[in-house]
Every structure is written in structure tokens, then in C-alpha cells.
Structure 1
């Protein structure tokens, strides 16, 4: 048995205090996102927002957050992680305050953009701050607690969002973040020590701009496809811009010394398939709570609080599966867990697809949601472990940052694609009623059309989840480390 020195004990106590700060940040951002997913109809009704405006209340945050994650990781190397991390809390808190004071919907969208920048500053640095604070032999414990707090946010968010929307008003969906953000900022300033700055590597400005432009064009095309049809000039222009930018991104990233998208990480079969499977899983699961919350409000006439309670089987499934799978990881290979989780996700979504009807008993819907949640929790644990075990220690930070960006791209596309497919089933005059959650008060014909949209949306998500299962099965072969080395020569 190795003796524990006073220095080791002191470092461990500090590490757990650091973990409390970073976990608080993850809970803050997770709850802020999941509350709005459920309470969106309340916000839409207040501003009388159009279908396009309603979609961009969500998409603006996801797009900016995704495009700026790696950028703020680089900025932290130049300015210091503690400083950038705390600035993120301050920015997120101020933006939340101003969002609740929004005079119109586009001011709210602008504040969501500022929130996204603050969230990116927090998310890009939380993991690295924990890794620096914990001794190597205790790092897995710290990471386990840090990631586990996301389940807390996912469990609490929908219920809190529904309750706030029904009792306190839409402004408090954003204002509830203000005291939490101030507490996190004060606690972080008191606890976090200055971290030695890493090597000053240049920021891939061109790569960031090209990725942001490509994602913006794709999202604009997806959001307009549901409103104006696939032949709309906006849709065709957005799709064309995306197609043109993709090869430019590949060319620019190959020439960059510090690429925002390290294409070497797709060099071997294991990494390529595992990352693509992660993308598919994110695309299939991310819009599920939003879509189901809209189903209960727009098709079944429930209020926001009841809808929030109704979607809880998803985060419950994720929260239960993750620690159980973590314990099974000693006996079951992460490869098998990854495949099993992807298949479970597809089964859950397939259940929702086959039973999409206004009169479906809740227990059937609940089973589908719970199975999909368990599948995602199982897949995330297995997939992450599989990739991290396959790489040398020196590549872990690069791969983890890349994995987060790949998953976030899946999340962004998931929301845009799902909303587009869902609202394409009803006429242009009724799409705003879907976002407002008031369609159930109109004719049964309109609700029947919307149910066709829900079935199509579940079908798309099911197909993507199935593709993820196939890719997870293919993510086996030569060690990724060898592939990474060979492609970097």
C-alpha cells in the first residue's frame, strides 16, 4: 500500500473542489438547454413567432456553441484557462438576464448567441481544468462525477422548464440562470487557481470561419425546407453553399498546423467508424425530447409542465444506464457495449415510429423513450471508452475535443432536420401553431396531418440510429493509434 502524503491529500481536496465548480457549470448549461426545449411553445406564443423564428431560438445557440468550442480551447491557451472559464460564466449570466428582457424575438435570438459563446468558453475548458487538478490515478473518478452531473441536468431540466413556464412566466426560463451563474462565478473565482499556460499555438481562424459558414448554410437549408419546400431558392442556395464549402474545409484543414477539424482522426477504420457512429447517435437522440415535448403539447394539448414530466423516461434511461454500463465495462468490451447501445436506441425510436398516434397509451410511449434513453447512455459510455483506450495518452485531448465537436454537429443538424421534417406535414399557415403548442385546439384534420409528421420524424431518427449501429459494428480493426501515426507522416 502506497502511503498518502499531506501534499497528496491536499491536492485531492483541491481537485474535488475544482470538480464541484466544473460540475456546476455543466449543470447550469444542461438545465438551461433542456428547460427551453420543453418551454419553447410558451416563448413562441408570447412573441407570436413565426416557424422560422421559432426554430432559430434553438438553432442559434447550437450553431454558435458548436462552431466556437475548439476556438475557445485555443484562446484559453493564450489567455489562461481560469480566466476564460470564469469569463464564460459571466457572459452566460449577463446574456440570460438580457434574454428575459427581450423586446422581440430577434433580440432573444441574439442573446442566445451570446449565451452560446459563454457556454463554449465553459465547456471547452472544464474537462482540461479537471484533468490538470486530479492526480492521474484518480482522474477517472473525477471525470465520472463531472459527466454524471449531466444526467442531473437532463432529469431536472424538463420538469423545471415546464413548471416555470406554467407558473412564473417565460422570462424566468432565462432568469433562473442568473443566480445560479453568479454562484458558479463566485465559487469558481474563490476555488480555481491559475493554470500554467500551454504552448501558444495559433488559432485556426480560417477553419473556424469555414466550418461556421458551412453549418449555417446547412441549417438554413434544413429549416427552410420544411417551410418553403425543397425547391425553394433559399434551400437550394444553402445546400449549394454547403457543398462548395466542404472541399474547401478539407483543403484548409489539411494545410493548417492546428486544424479545428483534425482530418487525421478519420484516417483509420476504428476512429472513422466510431466517430461517425457517435455523430449518428447524437443526431438520433438530441431532438427527441424536443419532438416529444411538442407532441404532448401540440397534438395532445398538455401544458408545458405535464409535457416536461412526460419526457422524463429519456434522461432517466440515460442516467440509469451510464453507471451500470460503467461497472459492466470490466467484463464486457466497450465494442460490444457500443453496438448494444446503438441497437437499443434504434429499438426505442422504432417503437415510437410504429406507435405514433394521438391516442397511443402513455405507457407505450414511455417504454420507447426509456429504451432509447438506455441505449444512448450505453452507447456513449462504450463508444467513448473504446476510442480513448485505442489511443496513446498524448492524443487524448485532441481526440476528445474532436469528438465533442462531431457530436455537437450531430446535435445541431438533429434539431434543424427534425423540425423541418415535422412541420412539413402541415400547411404553412399551421406551422407556427405547432411551435406554439396550440394545434390541438384546431381541427382533427390538422392534428392528423401533424401525426404524419411525427411518424416521419421518428422514421428519420430511427434510420439514423440504425446506421449508427452498423457503423459501431464496423469500428473494429487495427489500433487507431497506429492509424493516427501513419496518417500524420
Structure 2
């Protein structure tokens, strides 16, 4: 066993301080996202939002965040990773203040988009800053703590969001980000060192615009399919635009020296399968808290706070699994951890698919949520470590932005797809009542129809999770 030099000890101490700072960022993003998932019915009732507006309160953040991740990874390579990271904190804090002052629902959607830009600056660079700070043999430990911290945010978020919505008002869901953001900005500015800038390369502006347009068209098609069917003109136009834009994205990517979607990253089996497994895992898990929170409010008639308590097993599972897996990472390969995590996520979703009935006892639902949470924590730690170890240092920023973007595309599609499958069972007339959490007061027949929607939604997510498990198994490093 090699002796630990003073230089190694100094680097490790700095690495853990960096992990603490970046964890503040992920707490801010995690809490902001998960609180609104549970408090959505309260916000919908306040503004009297229709089904389309209700969907876009959530999707505006995901869409803008996803489309700008690679862009800000490239910008950070050019302008400095520390500078872009701290600017993200400032912008996210300002947008949170404005969101709480929203006079109408579309102003809120706009400030959510502004929040998403700040979040993209943070997410595209946090993992890279950790990777640069930690020695390679300790990276899995740092990643385990970083991802475990996200689960703490998700743990507090739903309960906190439900409590705030029922007591102080939904505005404080956003305003609580302001002091937290200012603290994170001050601590980060004082602690983070400047990182060397990478060789300059042009930003693929056209590629970013095309990706944003393609994702917007896809989301519009998915959100319309559930209420109006596959023959709806809006669905046909959205799906047609998406199909037309994908080849254009590929074409512009081949001509750009720094494409927003660098398909060369899929050239090797490890990165291709690991990124696709990450996509499947994100698609399968991301809407879980939202769908389950809607289940307890729309079908069971619980308030937002009680619904927030009901989804706690997911973040508890992630929070317990991530640091434990991080410590195991020095003895067990990230490859093996990703497979085990993906399989556990699929098992948890399988339990939920079989338990979609109002008469199902909570311990069964809670058990499925806990297993899915443990699986997500295990997979995310193993998969992230596996991918980041495989990357050259001079491409960490852009490629990590691409990696997070792939996951976010899964999240975007997951929210649109699962809500569409879920609400299709009750028809367009009652769809708004599902989002507002008031369906249980209208008709037992409608609730029974909604249960069919929950079962179908979980079934689709379970199938996707199984596919992710197979892809994780294929993401083996080539033998040398």
C-alpha cells in the first residue's frame, strides 16, 4: 500500500471541502425541484391553471435546463468553470425571488425557465469540479456523498413543499431558495479555486437551438397525446417537427467542431451503453415522486403535506444507498454497482405496477418506493463514477454536460409520457382535476379509471427500467 504524501493529504482535504460546496448546489436544485412536484396542486388551484399550463409549470424548467446543459459546459471551458458555476447560483437565486412574486401562471413559467438556466450552470459543472478535485481512487466516495446529498434534498423537498404550501403559501417554496442561494454563492466564492481553461472552441449555437426546438415539439406532442389522442393535429405537428429536426441535429453536429450532441461519444461500447442506461434509469425514476404524490392527492384525497410524507421512502432509499455504495466503490467495480442498482430500480417499479389499487396497504407501496430509491442511489453512484473515470480530462466539461443532458432528456420525456399515460384514462374533461388533486371528491368511477392509468404508467416505466438494466450490463470496459 503506497504511503500518503503531504501533497495527497492536502489534495484530499481540499477535495472534501469542494464536495461540501458542490453539495450545497445540489441541495438547492434538489429541493427546488422536489418541493414543486408535491405542491403543484396548490399552485394550480391558486392560478386556476388549465391542464396545459399545469404541465408546463414543471416542464419549462426541465426543458430549458436540458437544452442548455452542454452549452454551459462549453461556456465553462471557455470562461472558467468556477466563474460559470458561481454565476449559476446568482441567477438561480434571483429567479427564485421573482417566481414567488409571479402575478400569473405564465410569469411563473417564465421564471421557472430562468431558474433552469442557473441550474444548468450549476449541474453542468458540479460533477466536473468534484472529479478534478478528488484523486481517482477516492472519486467514488466523493460521488457517493454528492449524490447522497441530492437525496437529502429530495428527502426534505416533498415534505417541506407540502408543509409550506399548506401553511405559509406556495410563494415561500421559491423564496426559501434566496437565503440558501446567497449562502452557497458566498461560500463557493471564498473556497473554490480557479480551474485551468480548456482550449477555445466555438459554441454550437445552431445545435442548441435545434435541440431546444426538437425537445419542445416532442413535449408538446406527448402532453397532447393523452388528452386528445394520436390523431390530434397538435400531436401530429409536434411529432412531425421532432422527426424532421433530429436529422438536422445530427447533420449540424457532424459539421460543427464542438457539437451540442457529439455522437462520437457513442462510438465506444462503454460510453454508449452507460449513457443509454442512464437515460433509461432517469426516464424510469424521475416522475416517480410526481406520479405517487398525485396518486395520494387525486386518488386518496390527502393534502399536500401528507402526500409529501408518503413519498419519503424514495429519497430515504437514495440517501442510505449512495454513501454506502460510495465506500464500496474502492472494492466493488462501478460497473457491478450500476447493474445491481438498475435491477433494484426495476424491481421497485414492478411492485408499484402490481400495487396500483386504492385498497393496497401503504407498507406495500412504501416498500416499492424504498427499493426503487435504493436502486437509484446505487445506480447513479456507480454509473457516474464509471463514466467520469472513462473520460479524458480535456473534455470533462462538455461531456459531463452531455451526460447530464442525456439524463435530463429522460426526465423530460418521463414527465410528459407518464402524465400523458396517467391522465388518458380519465379523459380531457377530468384531466385538470387530477393536476389539482381534487378528483377523489368527484366520482369513485373516475378514481377507478385513474387507477388503470397509474397501472399503465408504472408498467411503462418498469419496462424502461428493465431495458436500462440490460444496457448497464453491456457497458463493460473493453479488455486490454
Structure 2 match to 1:39? 39
Partner of 1:72: 72
State the partner residue of 2:182.
Answer: 182
CA shift, 1:155, in A, is 1.2
Q: Which deviates more from structure 2 when the two are superposed, residues 65-74 or residues 197-206?
A: 197-206
2:120 pairs with 1:111 = no
Secondary structure of the structure 2 residue equivalent to 1:323:
helix
The corresponding residue for 1:371 is: 371
1:318/1:207 Cα in 2 relative to 1: closer, same or farther (>3 Å)? Answer: same
Select between 40-49 and 384-393 the one with higher mean Cα deviation. Answer: 384-393
Give deviations 1:223-278, integer Å, cap 9, x for gaps: 11122211111100000010111111111112211111111121233332222111
| Cα distance, 1:128 vs structure 2 | 3.0
Aligned length: 479
Query: Any residues of structure 2 matched to 1:136-147 within 5 Å, and which?
Result: 139-147=139-147
User: 1:336 aligns to what?
Assistant: 336
Counterpart in the other structure of 1:485: none
In the superposition, the TM-score normalised over structure 2's length comes to 0.94
What does residue 250 of structure 1 align with? Answer: 250
2:270 aligned residue: 270
Per-residue CA shift, 1:26-76, capped at 9, x if unaligned?
101111001111111111111111111000000000010011011112222
TM-fit CA distance, 1:446:
1.2
CA distance in 2 between counterparts of 1:86 and 1:208 reads 22
The residue aligned with 1:464 is 464
**Inter-CA distance 110–377: structure 2 relative to 1 (3 Å threshold):** same
Tell me whether 1:321 sits opposite 2:321 in the alignment.
yes
Deviates more, 1:384-393 or 1:407-416: 384-393
Residue 381 of structure 2 is aligned to residue 381 of structure 1: yes
Give the alignment of 1:159-198 within 5 angstroms.
Answer: 159-198=159-198
Name 2:82's counterpart in structure 1.
82
Question: Is the counterpart of residue 158 in structure 1 residue 153 in structure 2?
Answer: no
CA-based RMSD of the aligned residues comes to: 2.2
Query: 1:466 Cα deviation (Å)?
Result: 1.5
| Distance change (3 Å), C-alpha of 1:192 and 1:282 | same
Aligned to 2:56: 56
Preserved CA contact (<8 Å) 2:125 2:401: no
Larger deviation: 236-245 or 397-406?
397-406
Q: In structure 1, what is the Cα distance between the partners aligned to 2:163 and 2:452?
A: 29
Q: Secondary structure of 2:291's match?
A: helix
Counterpart contact for 2:335–2:382, Cα < 8 Å: yes
Matched, 1:97 2:134: no
**Unpaired runs of at least 5, structure 1:** 483-489
The alignment's TM-score, normalised by the length of structure 1, stands at: 0.92
**C-alpha separation in 2, matches of 1:181 and 1:392:** 32
Q: Judge conservation of contact 2:277–2:471 (CA < 8 Å) in 1.
A: yes
Structure 2 unaligned residues grouped into runs of 5+:
none
Q: Distance in 2 between matches of 1:112 and 1:398?
A: 24
Q: CA deviation at 1:153?
A: 0.8
Distance verdict in 2 for CA 1:220–1:51, change over 3 Å: same
